[in-house]
């Protein structure tokens, strides 16, 4: 598993910014909901 297989998703909540690694095929979920589904 290498980092190039993942995208970095940024989202803001509670005044904090989070950066998480997501699989490219899951990235659409973050765009849809604006938050991680975990």
- Per-residue pLDDT tens for 1-38? 465 677 777 878 888 888 877 777 777 776 676 666 55
Do the strands 7-13 and 16-22 form a parallel or antiparallel pair, or are they unpaired? antiparallel
pTM of the entire predicted model: 0.33
Contact (Cβ atoms closer than 8 angstroms) between residue 34 and residue 27: no
Going 14 to 19 to 25 to 31, the CA torsion angle's sign is positive
Output the pLDDT for position 24: 74
Give the residue among 28, 36, 38 at the shortest CA–CA distance from 11. Answer: 36
């Amino acid at each position: 598993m290498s980092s190039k297989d993942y995208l970095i998703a940024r989202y803001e909540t509670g005044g904090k910014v989070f950066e998480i690694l997501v699989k490219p095929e899951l990235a659409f979920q973050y765009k849809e909901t604006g938050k991680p589904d975990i």
